[in-house]
Structure 1
Amino acid sequence: MRHFLTSLYLLGTFLHTLTKCTMSMKGIRNIGTVLGVSQPVETVPGFNNFIYSTKRQTFFKNEAQTGFCNQACNCSYVTPEDIISADASYSFTVYSAVYAIAHGLHNALQCGDGKCSDKITLFPYMVPTSLCSAECPVGYVQKQTGIHKCCFNCEICPNGTYINITDRYNCINCKDTQWSKKGSISCDLRVVEYMPFTDNWAILIMVGAWALVGMTLSMSVLFVVNYNTPVVKSAGGPMCFLILGCLSLSSLSVFFYFGKPTVAFCVLRYLPFLLFYTICLACFVTSREFSRLNLFINTSSLEANSVQLQNVVLLLCSLCFPNRQLV
């Protein structure tokens, strides 16, 4: 203010920014913006009665000896009204500090019922520890239960998350290429495991699939050669080729179970098998051979066979898509 500085941003404590002396200074409104950090002030119960009871001694009027007041005699030059009318932030701060010390000593000495424990020795340099909740184990986050950050519940981080030392209050999700167990403090890279085409079991399964395809193709050629014979016509005629073709195509899905998995491989594992094998079963149901057998069974058994066939299809779908809801 002496140098006529304006448009400033000043930061101060509540003792400097909220006191009447500071607000009454000349030119204080021209220096700019003043930011003050304040704390809540509440009414101290019984404060006025306490001041009046401790200030009953003689009022000291000798201003020359005010520095020795309360030391040379039981007197004071400050009246109770001066203390009560002062800024409440002063009295509440002193009250909070004294109460904190008294409360800490009360707990440290295990006081109660008007007396303290004689078995505890408290030295002046010992600072009592005040903890609402114990520290959480590794892999747990702190969930605040009240207005105080020291009071919290411990919750374990679920699968796919981890806790970082920089943030004790939130579980962090792992990336799509990572994974973690419950209570982890870091994520691990996902390891892709698959059966290569050169594996012995893979070769055996692929040979069996090619053998099935070869058998269906041979059967198709045999049916073409003898297409006009009664045996082929009684077996279904043109529908036989559809059944054999669907069996061959459904067998090809086996080859997509080997090698490094891709999106296309994962789709071709299930879609051809479900599609062509369902068509194959439908052809069996609607073939003339099944129609002849239905002459010897009643309607209820036909409905039962239909339900069983649907259950078979649902079972196959559930085995192929275990993580999806089919109904």
Structure 2
Amino acid sequence: MAGTVRSEQEFIAHVQSGGVVEAGDWMPEGYRRAVIRFIEMHANSEYMGALLERDWIARAPTLERRIAITSKVQDEVGHAQHLYCLLEDLGRPRAEVLSDLLEGRSRYNSFFHYPTASWADVGIIAWLSDAASIIAQKALLQTSYGPYRRILPKICWEEAFHVVHGREIMRTLLSGTRQQRDMAQEALTRWWPRLIYFHGPPTPAEKDADLTIWKLKGRPNEDMRQEFLRLYIPKIHKWGLQLPDPQLSFDEPSQRWRYTQADWEQVRLIGRGQGPASQAQLEIRRRAMEDNRWVAETLAPVPPAQEASR
């Protein structure tokens, strides 16, 4: 597309006809900002989501489970690595992105602002939140921004393995002792309300108009949430687990699930760093970055002027 599009009208015609946009192509400034916002939110969520499970590596009940969760955490951090590279190609330096994250100026999914309390949490997060992630990411597989489109299949493929990992943790707990089954139910009870708002608030079509025209958003939030509910509520019930929502019911005429609506203003505040574990998680990242700063400084390229003076 480079050199052929020089106006927003031509750009819209290009993406609407199935055209792909590359990092070096001309693009409207609003489009560039929207792509950066999408990818940065995704990258930060992968990066911070890994923290929920990292602490359970040493506490996994068996060596096999320890290896599996270590691999999962590595995958999540690897996803963030790929996505931060895409941001750098768009002129958003990684150091700037991480600084904004650690100082609370940028966001990540509200789901990841909570602490984990038991091994069952690891199962719920992998089984259900990664399933919700796949639904959101598959909705972007035909996004108009080429570099993002090309990395998403790899991320979805790896997330599918994470879902299996979580499902097997839950299967083991639910076939175990009464204490293990109670642990699984308690974890689901705590995390279910957060899963309901995983895909974000229902948004009117006009609010997403530009994103739709630019082919940056494939599906409305509520459609993705309904797909998640349609796929996973039967699985949860089949395993004998109870969902903690007295308003949860299936409406036959509309073929949609009804549920207790989230306090979306509270969800927004959580996403801005006011969640139960937001600051503790960010402080861990700050300490890790400070403790390992010497590595980055050692590996940093030497400026040409200093190289010449050696």
User: When the two structures are superposed, what TM-score results if normalisation uses the length of structure 1?
Assistant: 0.25
Higher strand proportion (structure 1 or 2)? 1
Which structure has the bigger radius of gyration? 1
Which structure's relative contact order is higher, taking Cα pairs within 8 Å and 6+ residues apart?
Answer: 2
Higher helix proportion (structure 1 or 2)? 2
User: When the two structures are superposed, what TM-score results if normalisation uses the length of structure 2?
Assistant: 0.26
